[in-house]
Amino acid sequence: MHVPEGFLDVPTSLATGAIAAAGVGLALRGARRELDDRTAPMAGLVATFVFAAQMINFPVGAGTSGHLLGGALAAVLVGPWSAVLCISVVLLVQALFMADGGITALGTNVTLMALVGAGIGWLVFAGLRRVLPRSTPSIVAAAAVAGFVSVLAAATTFTALFSLGGTLPVDPAKVLVAMVGWHTLIALGEAAITGLVVASVIGVRPDLVYGAAPVLQARELEIRLPDSQVVR
């Protein structure tokens, strides 16, 4: 769900725009650490992947559908700063070329989906990774929970912005109930798909999952001989 034009008033839109610009500025520095001089082509292709992933709709109920936000997924796969950068570019391209999400709401959308979505997603993931045992299943579980929390965090932040500068005469408490209720369903889909995708990438190319790096360092080479003897 992209926030469209005219949903929030001008001061709120400008304020979120400033927050988004500051956040993206930090992400520009951070992404160079994560991806070094490969940043432009790699982030470009990952942004394209996120865009493609967002095209897949899943039924939420009552004949409507939601789509993946992808903030937590991108953060686990390529690291938090690159994820913020990728999601921001996806939103920028969607607003400028596809009229998906308002031009004046771009700052709001970047704040919600890139900063809150990927940022909170990463914090939850990194926190859980520290607590859970060091194994790949815990990476998958942490990614799924991060996906769930990131969607609800974005929905809650939207409600907070709406109560500050919403243009509709609707009670913010009602908006909160509707947003959280609705997004709990979307968050369940997001959690399932985030976990499953991370699991499938770990299964094939574990070295590509940024969030799994600390777990993988603990593995050592095993050579299994035909008589089931294991040489380390």
Partner 1 sequence: MGAGHGHRLHFHAHSPIHRAPAHLKIVALVVFMLVVVATPRQAYAVFAVEAAALVGVVLLSRVPAPYLAKRMVIEVPFAVFAVLVPFVAYGPRIDVLGVSVSEPGLLAAGALLIKGTLGVLASLTLAATTEPQDVLRGLERLRMPDLIVQIMGFMIRYLDVVTAELARMMVAMRSRGCEPRSPQHWPTLARAMGSLFIRSYERGERVHLAMLSRGYDGRLP
Q: Which is nearer to partner 1, 170 or 213 (CB)?
A: 170
Counting contacts by CB under 8 A, is residue 89 touching partner 1?
yes
Counting contacts by CB under 8 A, is residue 157 touching partner 1?
no
Closest separation in Å from C-beta 13 to partner 1: 7
Closest separation in Å from C-beta 104 to partner 1: 5
Beta bridge partners of 65: 59
Counting contacts by CB under 8 A, is residue 214 touching partner 1?
no
Residues 116-145: x/- map of binding to partner 1 (CB under 8 A)? ------------------------------
Distance between alpha carbon 70 and the CA centroid of its chain, in Å?
4
Scan for tokens 């369940």, then name that residue.
Answer: 188
Q: Where are the alpha helices (DSSP H) in the chain?
A: 10-35, 39-54, 71-78, 80-98, 106-109, 119-131, 136-165, 172-204, 213-216
Q: Cβ distance 154 to 109 under 8 Å? A: no
Distance CA 76, CA 186 (A): 19
Among 38, 130, 135, 137, binds partner 1 (CB under 8 A): 38
Stretch that binds partner 1, among 24-32, 116-124, 211-219, 222-230 (CB under 8 A): 24-32
CA proximity to 58, closest of 70, 66, 69, 49 = 66
Q: Which is nearer to partner 1, 64 or 135 (CB)?
A: 64
* Virtual torsion, Cα 199, 81, 105, 186, nearest 10 deg: 20
Closest separation in Å from C-beta 124 to partner 1: 20
Closest separation in Å from C-beta 229 to partner 1: 33
Distance CA 225, CA 79 (A): 37
Counting contacts by CB under 8 A, is residue 93 touching partner 1?
yes
Counting contacts by CB under 8 A, is residue 160 touching partner 1?
no
Q: Which is nearer to partner 1, 130 or 207 (CB)?
A: 207
Counting contacts by CB under 8 A, is residue 56 touching partner 1?
yes
Distance CA 228, CA 232 (A): 13
Q: Which is nearer to partner 1, 33 or 130 (CB)?
A: 33
Identity of the residue numbered 36: D
